[in-house]
Structure 1
């Protein structure tokens, strides 16, 4: 390696690190709807906030557009994603397809020890959970753990991407005490069907995930109220 190559490599790595850091910070903001739906994203303000140039901000936003967290309008810039009940319901439908396929593969491929580890982890997590945010995180981890038993990293990546898009609404949904109680009971049933390698557990999982149109409207309304009026349940 030449002297020029040696001096260039660290700079390139530092630049990549900056872009990655900005990307993760802006992605977290998009996930939590700290950009209001339809709001134009001010690249200059973000650059000042993170003490960087506009270049890593623009690169981060380009990545987030590909992931559908923001949209780009030529000659106008980047805008925060919109929210509609139909969008939320469709994401949950897609999530159900991904997870049910993973469940079917997990029935074929998972070891008994792996299934027992998920049972223990879920029990430990719910014991430690003291608020709805922790419960939501535990719920997300539970579903990813089952998908991981399918032995296909592409499935896990798809599910994690979907989880990020609905995380805001998942938390709202699990604030409801009745919904949390049902979640615990349904998780127990899902694990029991998985332990028995019962493919009919796939339908149990689908019903557990899919959101009705009416419920999608309800959750979306609550989400919009939180975003625009800073309300809490």
Structure 2
């Protein structure tokens, strides 16, 4: 995939934030959004000199921004080689979804114990339902991810949601890489799938709800693996 890392990318996006945040933070956000948009190829080298020239910033700012991306799991540092856009192994993918399922299972249990009526999930579902039929895959996937995040929010646990958000950074990047090889999603079908998921999680027994989350997660893993070619191995 050809990279679109240019000074125009920064000026057209996060550069406005330079007035209110540091250059390092603005650059981090710009690179992060390009990664989430699938516009930086997995394994692409992120060279300080190139980025400094393209974004018209100092190399020390680029170095600091790259360190933040590495700590966030969006880039990876390889000794004696430099910083590269993150790639995911089969083990990485399985691990991300194991964590996602574990948090969602506990969140649903807590939400039901506190008598949640899944209003956060309903609001996210409404947004998903309003997507135009010709919406791009990225827009549909992000709306579906927002439904899952809203399910976790139903638990009312700030720390649980913080842990989920940290996992979502990696998941969003993984999905961006998978989307580049996927056919378009039908937003109506995705809405109905997630509407049924939410209804079932609040109607089933806790044991069955947990198993339903595991099955939904397993299906999601298969879709991602197929998109990025791991099923061919």
Q: Same fold (TM over 0.5)?
A: yes
Deviation of 1:187 after TM superposition, in Å, equals 2.1
Deviation of 1:15 after TM superposition, in Å, equals 9.7
Deviation of 1:203 after TM superposition, in Å, equals 1.9
The match for 2:191 among 172, 184, 190 is 184
Please list, as runs of the form range in 1=range in 2, the aligned pairs for 1:38-53 lying within 5 A after superposition. 38-53=43-58
Deviation of 1:129 after TM superposition, in Å, equals 3.6
SS in 2 for 1:62: helix
SS in 2 for 1:79: strand
Please list, as runs of the form range in 1=range in 2, the aligned pairs for 1:133-148 lying within 5 A after superposition. 133-148=138-153
Give the corresponding residue for 1:90. 95
Give the corresponding residue for 1:5. none
Any stretches of 5+ residues in structure 1 without a counterpart? 1-12, 223-233
Kindly provide the CA deviation profile for residues 5-61 of structure 1, in whole angstroms up to 9, marking residues without a partner as x.
xxxxxxxx9796221111111222333443333332111121222221112211111
Task: Identify which of structures 1 and 2 has the higher relative contact order when contacts are C-alpha pairs closer than 8 Å and 6+ apart.
Answer: 1
Give the corresponding residue for 2:65. 60
Matched, 1:175 2:180: no
The count of aligned residue pairs is 206
Deviation of 1:141 after TM superposition, in Å, equals 1.2
**What is the TM-score normalised by the length of structure 1?**
0.73
Deviation of 1:87 after TM superposition, in Å, equals 2.6
4+ residue runs over 6 A deviation: none
Give the corresponding residue for 2:108. 103
State how far apart, in whole Å, the 1-side matches of 2:146 and 2:163 are.
Answer: 14
Provide the alpha-carbon RMSD of the alignment.
3.1
8 Å Cα contact 1:85/1:220 also seen in 2: no
The match for 1:205 among 204, 213, 218 is 213
